[in-house]
Structure formats: structure tokens, C-alpha cells
Amino acid sequence: MNNLSRLVLVVLLLPVVAAAELGALDSMVIPGEVIEGHSKFESSCSRCHVLFNKKAQNKVCVECHDHANIKKDVLAKKGLHGRLKGKPCRDCHQDHKGRKADIVKFNKKSFNHRNTDFPLRGKHKKEKCKSCHKAGDKFSKAPSKCYSCHKNDDEHKGGLGKDCGSCHSALDWDKIRFDHDKTDYALRGKHKKAKCVSCHKRHKYKKTPTTCYACHKKDDKHKGQQGKKCESCHNTRSWETTTFDHGLSRFPLLGKHKGPKCRECHESKKYKDAPIKCYSCHKKEDEHKGRLGTQCEQCHNARGWKYWKFNHDRQTGFPLKGGHRNLDCLVCHQRVLKGKVSLPGTCAGCHIDDDVHDGRFGEYCERCHTVNDFKQIRHGVKR
């Protein structure tokens, strides 16, 4: 075979060899079939790949797959895709694995939920994925608001709105961080220990009455007789601890009146129009049996029965002078308790037994004697 023949043979065989080499090149450049969704672009590599520029790969993916939510998250650097910090799409979504390959699937067991906008905390850590992510839905569509999942658990029946997180946490429904002091009714005293339902019946929190009587009507021992402003006397520490100032009433408590309990004077628990006269309460203690009238305060005071303020000089027709001044009342008023109140104002009326003259000089002892002492005699007087 001459040289010309050989040249003709090479020219004829060149297309065959080229075709064979091209098939081998395809199998080397294209690692496998693309997924069904990409199959129509399988012959156009430039639709998905930028020659010799791997960094431009993500831009091509996003331009073709215009997932508005993903693109928005990437630009805002939030959500799962926004937190990947420039990670290539192909690291998670690898194609060329066949027509039926699922390139969106990820490992649920190793997935870190902290890379999302909803890190799992508290009891959420123990929940299964399907509890929040419905089958067939995109994972990004799962609601992140408490009320979306816990509507059926809401004991308030929507009465407090849908922002559960303002009071509750993922640790426990029963552990709340609601600050009642920031409301119009700060909790003081025993109100701090009361359960919510004690004041908020049927879990209704709005327009809850704030007056004492609205909640404590059943506890009112006065049966409404003192009105409905409990706070004018009581406080939140205890019913027994009262702030009522008796000094502002028409009967200030003085002396021994400070000691008795309210019911000792207010037997019927009627505090209004209670009697203020001594005799109204102390009639049984009146040793005079009413013979000296009912105005006990003319002689006695609140310090005690033994403290008298009776002025014999001003209140009677017999001023006490001399030896009379230091005498005990009963020396002269021996029969007061037996009915005799008015006593004779003459010397002989009391001293007839002391008259050594046996009445020979009459009843007017003061003609010779003085009130200081019987032994003091006024001899200058004419008899």
C-alpha cells in the first residue's frame, strides 16, 4: 500500500475514531443522569454550570430556581439558607444521580435546628419532626408562632391574644414570666400567692374588676353594712390587719378603749351608728346603779374606773376643805350604794356621833370648830 492509499484510509477512519472518543469523553465529563426536572437541560451544560468558575454556581442556581423565600433569606442572611454563609448549593443538592433521585432530601437525625429561625428549646427538643412539619409540605412552611401549634392547648380560649411567648416559655406551660406589676393592678400581700383563676374566672383576663368587694363579697363579715370600700379599713396582708384609724371617727379610742377587740363594742358587726355614750356599754359596770345619772364621763375617764376627774368643789354645794379634802368618798357616802345620794350639808349630819357636848350647843359645830380639826377651837366667837 502506497502512501496515498494510507492517507485515504486515515481520512475515512477519522470520523469513526472521533465518534468513539466523543462517547468516552461524555462519560468522563457527565458523571451521570440528571434528575427528571433537569432532564430537558441535560444537553446544555451551560444552563447549570459556568465553565472554570465554581463560585458563580450558586448565582446560576438561584436565577433558575427563583424560590422567592429562599432568595429573600439568602439576601437577609436568615433562615436555613441565609445562615449557610456562602455554602455552595451542590454541597447539599447533588445532581447527576439519576432521574428519580431526591436531591432535596437531608438527614433529619443530623440536622441542626439552630441553623433555622426557630432553634429548638425546652420541650420542643423532644418533639418529632412530623409534629410540626406536615407530610408533603416544605419544611420552611412550618409555622413558628406558638398559637399555630398550641391553639387547642390554650386555656384562655384566645382571650389573651395569640402571643403566648409574652407569658409562657418552651420549658413549661405552668412556668410563666408575666409581670402583673406592669398592669393596672399590681399584686401586693396575699394577692401574690393567689392563683390566676381565683380572680380571672373562666380564664377571662380582660376587664377583670379591681375593687376588693368584687372578689371578696363572700368574705365580707359585715354583710355589706360598711359599704364596698374594704380598703378603707383592710389591706392585702391580712383581713385581720386593719388600717382603720378610729381617731378619725367621732369616737377616738383613748386609754383602755384601745385594748378591746372591735366586736366587744360592735356586737352586731354594725360599725356605723354604734353608741358612743359610756352608759350604753358600761351599764352593767355602774356601781351607782344609775343613781348618779348616765354621764359617767363627768367623773370617770378612759384610763380606768379608778381615775376620777370629779371636782367636788365645783360640782356640789359642799366644797371639800381642811380635813375633808383627804377623806375617802365612802367615809361620807357610806350608804350611796343603798340608795342615799344626797347627804346633809351640816356638820352634825355626819359628826353627831363625835359630839362630846351631846347636843347642848346645837348642830352648828362650825361656830367653834374648823374643818381642819375638831381640836382647833375658835374661842373668840361669842356663844
pLDDT digits (tens, 9 = 90+) for 281-339: 899 989 888 888 899 988 899 988 888 788 888 888 889 999 899 888 878 877 555 44
Q: Is residue 187 part of a domain?
A: no
Distance CA 97, CA 112 (A): 25
Distance CA 18, CA 14 (A): 6
Distance CA 356, CA 211 (A): 82
Q: Is residue 61 part of a domain?
A: yes
Q: Is residue 152 part of a domain?
A: no
Q: Is residue 87 part of a domain?
A: yes
Residue type, 274: A
User: What percent of the chain clears pLDDT 90, i.e. is strictly above it?
Assistant: 17
Query: Which residue is listed with cell 446560576?
Result: 60
CB 67 within 8 A of CB 80: no
Cβ-based neighbour number of residue 73 at 10 Å: 20
Domain boundary among 126, 142, 174: 126
pLDDT of residue 22: 38
Max mean pLDDT among 38-42, 45-49, 200-204, 326-330 falls in 38-42
For the chain, the domain total comes to 2
Q: How many CA atoms lie within 13 A of 125 on its CB side?
A: 6
Task: Work out the pLDDT band at 43, boundaries 50, 70, 90.
Answer: confident
Domain boundary among 272, 288, 306: 272
Residue type, 269: K
Distance CA 290, CA 279 (A): 9
Section 130-154 average pLDDT? 89
- The CA dihedral of 284, 289, 293, 295, to the nearest 10 degrees, is -30
Section 57-64 average pLDDT? 82
Q: Is residue 120 part of a domain?
A: yes
Q: Is residue 244 part of a domain?
A: yes
Q: Is residue 240 part of a domain?
A: yes
Q: Is residue 248 part of a domain?
A: yes
Domain that residue 100 falls in: 31-126
Domain boundary among 126, 149, 179: 126
User: End-to-end alpha-carbon separation of the chain, Å?
Assistant: 204
Q: In whole angstroms, what separates CA 6 from the centre of its chain?
A: 105
pLDDT of residue 18: 45
pTM: 0.46
Distance CA 347, CA 374 (A): 11
Q: In whole angstroms, what separates CA 350 from the centre of its chain?
A: 76
List, as one string, the DSSP characters of 52-116: T-GGGHHHHHHHHS--HHHHHHHHHT-HHHHTS-S--GGGTS---S-TT--SS---TTT--GGGS
